[in-house]
Amino acid sequence: MSIFERTLSQLRRPRLLVQAARHGLTCYDRDSVLSRILKGVAPGPGTASFDLLTRAERALDDARRRGDAGYSAAGHVEALTALIAEARLLLGVGRLS
């Protein structure tokens, strides 16, 4: 099992959140999503984007668990979708959905 698969398998998120993220894989646009989530230009394919997305998604999950008023469920789905898509890209899985 790769580090990417291990990272994803260790996530404990609500089922609905994960289902929505998987559904989002069908229309994932890497450049626009990563630049929006990472607040700038999307990094090239590689572990750097996966690491940055892991941190961003973890921050969103912490906000969700705290009941933070600024938490965005849509943003969390988008980050989780990107995390799954980047893991698949790094693993060489051709199909994202």
What pLDDT does residue 93 have? 66
Of the two residues 19 and 95, the one the predictor is more confident about is: 19
**pTM for this predicted structure:** 0.82
CA distance readout (Å), 59 to 17, 27, 72, 73, 83? 15, 24, 11, 12, 13
Of the two residues 5 and 19, the one the predictor is more confident about is: 19
